[in-house]
Structure 1
Amino acid sequence: MNRSASTGWGRAGLALGAVLVSAVLCAPASAAAPGGAGSPTRTAAAPACPVVYFDLGETLVHTAADGGIGYQSGAASYLRALREHHVRIGLITNVPPSWGSTDAERAARLKQEVDAAWKGSVPFAWRDFGDRILTPRTDAERKPAPVLWQRAKAESGRCRVVYQAETAEEVQVAASVGYVPYQVGQSHRPAFLPVGLVELLGRRSR
């Protein structure tokens, strides 16, 4: 994972950041706590928008010094809250292109690698991601190249797309191609984009 700090969001990124900060600060407690009482619940018949994409390592899962893998703090409950609100989720993650000739093949190998090292008491929620696990077909497509974000956005139709990751560089690239970006794990704001705000994005047109 590239942990280099961003030197600037650009005008569009700054505007998005300001909107997000304002929304988070003004959100009621029920929205700031994923799955909290009073959070609006989307019915199964409602449009499944937006689509929330994540990085994997050090965003949703943490690799310990001994090589064991488990959920990042708060990630399991956050994914559960998104599932309960019928929000589609996906992964945009770097793996070796040699792991397969298709996203499905590379995703299958990724699952094997993660599950083999998994130390958590609750298994990783692979089922929630469906076929929305995008991986590089070539080394040139590896993040931070924008290709994977562009592919995911194209596959999401007219839905707004959100991207959450731990690195400033990745959220900056995602913002540049039209995502609502959120850098996770920042001490001055919720660990993940609040579920109430995700639902608000789903109700707003582009």
Structure 2
Amino acid sequence: MKTTFAPSTTRRMLLVLGSVAAMTVPAATAGAATGQAPHTPGQGGPRGGCVVAYFDLGETLVHTADDNSVRYMPGAAAHLRALRARHIPVGLITNVPSSWGATDAERAAKLKETVNHDWKGSTPFAWADFGDRIFTPRTEAERKPAPALWERAKKAADGCRVVYEAETDDEVEAGGSLGYVAYRTGQEGRPAYLPAAFIAALAHLPGAASAEAAGSGPRR
């Protein structure tokens, strides 16, 4: 059973979201998939759908300085905390050498080792938030902007709405063309990241699944 909304409720939601939605790739919202039922309140609550927020890594969540040290981008740690507080699952869609491992888990382990080795921030990177939702190229042909990583990440979201945040127009456009609500980070005069409240609200828009439906939430 899917959630239904009274026309007045839907109009109020769209008005609230409109100012932020204008900053996202328009094609992404129209292409967002119907979701499965969540099991945590941050994925939409007892009558909402579910959403998963994916990110690029370099220069989106972390910055590599001239001395090769790595630390959070401004606002990134706070953004991840805000998503964590709403129980919104997060993931990475990021290019690394395919030679780093035969599986996503092996390449993710090498990525963590590399970032941690050069990390200079006072707060460690929040790897635990991402779980096994770290998608990296199995072959060099899968490297972004090829669609393979976005497609694999979307499939792993089990039908939940998907968000993608990155610092470059080409990646935002690619994610949007594949059904993500896509947002370019670090734009002057705009929020550094898509507000957590907006991401959470996406789960409630018409088309997102109800928690009353049978099924599983995104892979954790």
The TM-score with structure 1 as length reference comes to 0.79
Quote the Cα distance in structure 1 between the aligned partners of 2:159 and 2:44: 18
* Alignment-derived partner of residue 31 in structure 1: none
Q: How does 1:16-165 map to 2 (within 5 A)?
A: 22-24=18-20, 42=42, 46=46, 49-165=50-166
Q: % of aligned pairs identical?
A: 57
Quote the Cα distance in structure 1 between the aligned partners of 2:52 and 2:108: 19
Quote the Cα distance in structure 2 between the aligned partners of 1:44 and 1:203: 6
Task: String of CA shifts for 1:1-60, please: whole Å, max 9, x gaps.
Answer: xxxxxxxxxxxxxxxxxx99933289xxxxxxxxxxxxxx73897577200000000000
CA RMSD of aligned residues (A): 2.3
Quote the Cα distance in structure 1 between the aligned partners of 2:81 and 2:154: 23
Quote the Cα distance in structure 2 between the aligned partners of 1:44 and 1:185: 27
The letter of the residue matching 2:70 is I
Aligned residue for 1:77, secondary structure, equals helix
Quote the Cα distance in structure 2 between the aligned partners of 1:43 and 1:102: 28
Task: String of CA shifts for 1:47-93, please: whole Å, max 9, x gaps.
Answer: 77200000000000000000000000000011011001000000000
Runs of 4+ in 1 over 3 A off after TM superposition: 19-22, 41-48
Task: String of CA shifts for 1:113-166, please: whole Å, max 9, x gaps.
Answer: 000000000000000000000000000000000110011111111210000000
> For the Cα contact (< 8 Å) 1:48–1:86, is it kept in 2?
no
Aligned residue for 1:114, secondary structure, equals helix
Aligned residue for 2:57, secondary structure, equals coil
* Alignment-derived partner of residue 34 in structure 1: none
1:84/1:156 Cα in 2 relative to 1: closer, same or farther (>3 Å)?
same
- Structure 2 unmatched ranges of 5 or more: 1-14, 23-40, 208-220
Quote the Cα distance in structure 1 between the aligned partners of 2:89 and 2:97: 25
Quote the Cα distance in structure 2 between the aligned partners of 1:152 and 1:56: 14
Segment drifting more, 48-57 vs 132-141? 48-57
Q: Which has the higher contact order (CA 8 A, sep 6+)?
A: 2
The letter of the residue matching 1:22 is G
Shift of 1:191: 0.4
Shift of 1:204: 1.6
Quote the Cα distance in structure 2 between the aligned partners of 1:99 and 1:52: 25
